[in-house]
Amino acid sequence: MDAISKVLDFQGEALKLRAERQRVIASNIANADTPNYKARDFDFGKALAEATGSGGPTPGSLAATDSRHLGRTGNAASTVSLAWRQPGQQSLDGNTVEIDTERARFAENTVRYEATLKFMNGQIKSMLTAIQGQ
């Protein structure tokens, strides 16, 4: 059961981070006409590695000296460090949002979110089938 839990925990963290990235990209798109707005984003792979513990210790992480210790709870998406995105060409008003790039990233992130969700649904259906003995 531990292996199943790890897979679902991993996919759950991925969903949280995908949702946060969607929010960040949507914010960039919404501010495309705002003077001096700087487009933001984060490295999804790095954030996922930190959230799942495969990226080494993270700031604020707790050391577990006993297997019965509870881990820190919280939303991985709330600890994501956003970075300013460097534009290919900055607009005259100082805005760094490239609307076509943002829309493409938004669409790509949507597809990846849905794929992760479908994978999780498949895992859950498989477990239910095994439990019901069908």
Mean pLDDT of the chain: 83
Neighbours of 12 (CB within 10 A): 15
Q: What is the tens place of the pLDDT at every residue in 7-16?
A: 889 999 999 9
**What average pLDDT does range 40-62 have in this prediction?**
74
Parallel/antiparallel/unpaired status of strands 83-84 and 40-41:
antiparallel
For CA atoms 54, 71, 67, 8, the dihedral sign is negative
pLDDT range class, residue 97, cuts 50, 70, 90: very high
User: What is the pTM assigned to this prediction?
Assistant: 0.74
Residue ranges per domain, the chain? Answer: 2-58+82-132
